[in-house]
């Protein structure tokens, strides 16, 4: 039977001659008798409406993900689900969820089922008869995807990233202004809040804390592959992380390359909350004003994608001025592919465009760029030998050298 699979959650039969480009399609031999008699255009129309309908509510798993993180469900499963099944029912989970005054296990179970479709949990179903009535008991267990949502996961959690990026009131309010930003220019975030995201966070410490924790999660996700693949720290003696947040990235680099001295450079309110890391000196400043001298390499992870070309040039020129001859700038950012793939499972492609969307919604004219755009900016700031050194996932490492 011919069928279409939409985001792995829905399957609908269709004629083998109907080609729908919107999503992944599985074609088998038989054609479903209910729609085989319809014209091809009619079949395509039916499928297209379904695809659009499901696409328009594709925010639902993200909202469910946010909810289960808020309710601490992954941690409860990690702590209380015992052998042999390591699974719990929604009722058992809610008994341990904080602040439940009138628990509604059914509502939780509905979200657990949606997230099970996305492989966030596994589900085990048991049918029992109680008082002559059939009762279905559903038990849920962690998968590798939900294990990384446990707050004290050994290699770092992704729970803060989920909380910051999924349907938060600040994100949603900025998104209401996207059309405006397209029609009249300017950034959606500034239209919504009257200031850019970084300035906004200086007066909203909760949002700043949430953002910095999300960036730490991003670092924990990315650093293992970065450290395994990037070999460019050999001759570096003193490394500055410009816009380094709470210093986690630098501390992880130094743990792998203990010969390096580290300087973590960020805004005062960010550095004020940053913990001490062995070998890392924290410095306060504004990268648009000047960047301190004294380091032979400057590292910037997910910095340039926050800003427009003019601002990027200011940052890169300040990096250039701060470096000695022979010093290098190391940039870690996504690279927008030349072709746009229609394969929604091509995460390198989709990841870049999703990240680009977040920059559009949230940053002051921020955007992901193509390789030649980075090359232009790095060269225009004075650096030579621009090269893309290594690909991580949808992120890349690029370098420029001061001659
Ligand atoms: C997207 S975050 C990246 C943080 C970190 N590099 C990482 O990847 O985890 C951007 C960082 O730039 C910092 N930043 C923004 N404006 C800055 C400025 N004018 N001077 C220095 N740092 C700034 C922010 O505080 C934030 O830590």
SS (HEC) of 75-96:
HHHHHHCCCCCCEECHHHHHHH
Task: Indicate if 331 and 370 belong to the same structural domain.
Answer: yes
* 274 in any annotated domain: yes
Q: Is the pLDDT of residue 200 over 80?
A: yes
* Segment 312-321, tens digit of pLDDT: 999 999 999 9
Total number of domains constituting the chain: 3
Task: Indicate if 268 and 328 belong to the same structural domain.
Answer: yes
* 222 in any annotated domain: yes
Given a contact cutoff of 8 angstroms between Cβ atoms, the answer to whether 278 and 251 are in contact is yes
Q: Is the pLDDT of residue 34 over 80?
A: no
Ligand 1 contacts CB of residue 240 (under 6 A): no
Q: What is the pLDDT of residue 401?
A: 98
* Segment 212-224, tens digit of pLDDT: 999 999 999 999 9
Mean pLDDT of 193-205: 93
Ligand 1 contacts CB of residue 262 (under 6 A): no
* 160 in any annotated domain: no
Q: Which residue has the higher pLDDT, 364 or 112?
A: 112
| Cα radius of gyration rounded to whole Å, the chain | 25
* Segment 248-272, tens digit of pLDDT: 999 999 999 999 999 999 999 999 9
Task: Indicate if 397 and 380 belong to the same structural domain.
Answer: yes
Q: Is the pLDDT of residue 17 over 90?
A: no
Q: What is the pLDDT of residue 30?
A: 46
Task: Indicate if 342 and 209 belong to the same structural domain.
Answer: yes
Range of the domain at 375: 168-401
Task: Indicate if 131 and 217 belong to the same structural domain.
Answer: no
Task: Indicate if 77 and 47 belong to the same structural domain.
Answer: no
Task: Indicate if 204 and 119 belong to the same structural domain.
Answer: no
The alpha carbon of 291 and the centre of ligand 1 are apart by a number of angstroms equal to: 13
Ligand 1 contacts CB of residue 286 (under 6 A): yes
Given a contact cutoff of 8 angstroms between Cβ atoms, the answer to whether 387 and 399 are in contact is yes
Q: Is the pLDDT of residue 26 over 70?
A: no
Out of 56, 80, 96, a domain closes at: 56
Q: Of 84-93, 94-103, 230-239, give the lowest mean pLDDT range.
A: 94-103
With 0.75 as the threshold, say if the pTM is over it.
Answer: yes
* 157 in any annotated domain: no
Long-range contacts of 133-140 (CB under 8 A, 24+ apart): 137/89, 138/89, 138/90, 138/109, 138/112, 138/113, 139/85, 139/87, 139/88, 139/89, 140/77, 140/87, 140/88, 140/89, 140/90, 140/93, 140/112, 140/116
User: Measured between alpha carbons, how far is 4 from 13 in angstroms, rounded to an integer?
Assistant: 6
Task: Indicate if 49 and 66 belong to the same structural domain.
Answer: no
| Residue 400 phi, psi (nearest 5) | -140, 150
Which pLDDT band holds residue 32 (cuts at 50, 70, 90)? low
Q: Which of 198, 212, 305 to mutate to test the pocket of ligand 1 (most atoms within 8 A of CB)?
A: 198
* 108 in any annotated domain: yes
Task: Indicate if 21 and 103 belong to the same structural domain.
Answer: no
Task: Indicate if 365 and 229 belong to the same structural domain.
Answer: yes
- Taken as a whole, the chain contains a residue count of 403
Q: Which among 86, 305, 362, 372 is annotated as catalytic?
A: 305
3-state secondary structure of 182: helix
Q: Is the pLDDT of residue 9 over 60?
A: no
Q: What is the pLDDT of residue 362?
A: 86
CATH number at residue 197: 3.40.50.150
Nearest-atom number in ligand 1 for the CA of 332 is 8
Place of tokens 């999300």: 214
Rounded to 5, what percent of the chain is helix, strand, coil?
Answer: 45, 20, 35
Which pLDDT band holds residue 365 (cuts at 50, 70, 90)? confident
Q: Of 10-14, 67-71, 302-306, 320-324, give the lowest mean pLDDT range.
A: 10-14
Given a contact cutoff of 8 angstroms between Cβ atoms, the answer to whether 294 and 265 are in contact is no
* Segment 56-80, tens digit of pLDDT: 999 999 999 999 999 999 999 999 9
* 158 in any annotated domain: no
What's the chain's average pLDDT? Answer: 90
Out of 14, 41, 56, a domain closes at: 56
User: Measured between alpha carbons, how far is 226 from 343 in angstroms, rounded to an integer?
Assistant: 26
Mean pLDDT of 118-144: 96
CATH number at residue 78: 1.10.10.10
User: Measured between alpha carbons, how far is 111 from 76 in angstroms, rounded to an integer?
Assistant: 16
Most confident of 1-5, 21-25, 255-259: 255-259
Out of 147, 179, 204, a domain closes at: 147
Mean pLDDT of 304-309: 96
* 154 in any annotated domain: no
Q: Is the pLDDT of residue 296 over 90?
A: yes
Task: Indicate if 190 and 288 belong to the same structural domain.
Answer: yes
The alpha carbon of 377 and the centre of ligand 1 are apart by a number of angstroms equal to: 19
Mean pLDDT of 392-403: 96
Task: Indicate if 125 and 202 belong to the same structural domain.
Answer: no
């Amino acid at each position: 039977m011919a069928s279409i699979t939409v985001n792995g959650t829905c399957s609908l039969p269709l004629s083998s001659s109907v080609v729908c480009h919107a999503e992944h399609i599985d074609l088998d031999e038989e054609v479903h008798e209910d729609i085989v008699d319809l014209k091809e255009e009619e079949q395509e129309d039916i499928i297209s409406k379904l695809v659009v309908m499901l696409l328009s509510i594709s925010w639902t798993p993200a909202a469910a993900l946010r909810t289960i993180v808020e309710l601490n469900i992954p941690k409860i499963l990690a702590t209380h689900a015992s052998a042999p099944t390591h699974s719990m029912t929604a009722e058992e989970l809610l008994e341990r969820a904080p602040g439940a005054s009138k628990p509604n296990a059914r509502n939780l179970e509905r979200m657990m089922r949606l997230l099970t479709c996305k492989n966030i949990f596994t589900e085990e179903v048991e049918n029992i008869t109680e008082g002559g009535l059939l009762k279905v008991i559903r038990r849920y267990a962690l998968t590798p995807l939900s294990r990384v949502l446990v707050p004290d996961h050994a290699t770092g959690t992704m729970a803060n990233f989920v909380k910051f990026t999924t349907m938060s009131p600040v994100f949603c309010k900025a998104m209401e202004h996207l059309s405006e930003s397209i029609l009249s220019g300017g950034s959606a975030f500034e239209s919504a809040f009257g200031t850019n995201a970084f300035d906004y966070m200086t007066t909203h410490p909760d949002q700043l804390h949430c953002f910095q924790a999300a960036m730490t999660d991003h670092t924990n996700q990315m650093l293992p592959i970065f450290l395994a693949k990037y070999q460019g720290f050999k001759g570096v003696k003193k490394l500055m992380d410009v816009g380094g947040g709470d210093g986690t990235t630098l501390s992880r680099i130094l743990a792998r390359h203990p010969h390096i001295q580290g300087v973590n450079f960020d805004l005062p309110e960010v550095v004020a909350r940053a913990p001490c890391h062995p070998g890392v000196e924290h410095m306060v400043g504004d990268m648009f004003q000047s960047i301190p001298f004294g380091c032979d390499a400057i590292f910037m992870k997910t910095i340039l994608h926050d800003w427009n070309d003019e601002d990027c040039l200011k940052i890169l020129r300040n990096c250039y001025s701060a470096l000695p001859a022979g010093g290098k700038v190391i940039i870690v950012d996504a690279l927008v592919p030349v072709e746009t793939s229609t394969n929604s499972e091509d995460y390198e492609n989709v990841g870049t465009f999703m990240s680009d969307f977040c920059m559009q919604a949230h940053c002051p004219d921020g955007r992901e760029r193509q390789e030649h755009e980075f090359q232009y900016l790095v060269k225009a700031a004075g650096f030579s030998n621009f090269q893309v050194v290594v690909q991580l996932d949808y992120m890349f490492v690029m370098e420029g050298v001061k001659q």
